[in-house]
Amino acid sequence: MPVKKFLQYIQFEKRYSPHTVTAYQSDLNQFIIYLNAQFQTDDIAKANHFFIRSWIVSLIEAKINTRSINRKITVLKSFYKFLMREQMIEQNPMIKIQSPKNSKRLPVFVDKIKMNDVLNDENYENDFEGLRDKLMVDMFYNTGMRLSELTNLKLQDINQQVCSIKVLGKRNKERIIPYALPLNSLITEYLNERTKKLSEVESDSLSLFINCKGKAVYNKLVYRVVNEKVGNKTTLKKKSPHVLRHTFATHLLDNGADLNAVKELLGHSSLAATQVYTHNTIEKLKNTHKQAHPRG
């Protein structure tokens, strides 16, 4: 019951995205399973700091990465804070819990030459799906939007007159992202083919990106497309839509873009989240100095 009330709270009051709500539910369920197995209880509201520390240690021993562990701790902090607010518990067990330090990881991105290869026509089939796939990849790179933001795009979100896209980000925050003029011709070409496809399958979908049945594309389909197209032209281990988001931000900063402007384009709530991309630029400068300086 406490978990259900908490999930309703973050969904309807905090207005977290469905993806985030599902992730929170999954983490809480994992903790409940652990409580059952180790302490023969599924009453998460009665878990104390000893139980929580025991779970964290088990995650570390299972070689779960630090970022994932810290995310689970964040979920528990939000959950027990909610229980305190609702007077469902008298003490917050998270007060004595410390998060392990995250190891610094630079965002993975595609370099400029390889990105041109990824967007080359030869990387796509000459049909409706090929045109759609190219536009999706190009839109990720042009705008830096998230996977869920792209799959939720509607026709009315595109303004070709001023070359901008309205996206609905985390916590239902809207933002307007401009895109480069050359993308307009690709959008127009796709929209024409999209209209033909809808007439063939007798669909009236309002989603911008559709599959061959006229239905909105889903996250796994888009992920699979990006993974394949980036994988065809690079040797990166990670080939997700988020890598294209990293690429967008890194290339902007490499070319002198203002950090605050990049923050707004990405839809970050704080500058700290955006600053991670400056490390790639600094590393690039270090390598240049090392290669070019007589005492490098």
Active site residue 105: no
pLDDT of residue 254: 86
Active site residue 170: yes
Which of 53, 77, 242, 279 is catalytic? The answer is 242
Place of tokens 């063939």: 200
Region of poorest pLDDT, from 73-77, 249-253, 283-287: 283-287
Active site residue 224: no
> What is this structure's pTM?
0.69
Q: For residue 25, count CB atoms less than 10 angstroms from its CB and return exposed for 0-12, middle for 13-18, buried for 19 or more.
A: middle
Residue 18: which H helix or E strand, with range? helix 18-39
pLDDT of residue 289: 46
Active site residue 268: yes
Q: Compare 240 and 99 and report the one with higher pLDDT.
A: 240
Q: Compare 107 and 287 and report the one with higher pLDDT.
A: 107
Active site residue 67: no
| pLDDT tens, residue by residue, 200-225 | 999 999 999 999 999 999 999 999 99
Which of 71, 166, 170, 284 is catalytic? The answer is 170
Active site residue 245: yes
DSSP secondary structure string, 164-233? EEEEE-GGG-EEEEE--THHHHHHHHHHHHHHHHHHHHT----BSSB-TTSSBP-HHHHHHHHHHHHHHH
Q: How many Å apart are CA 209 and CA 214, to the nearest integer?
A: 9
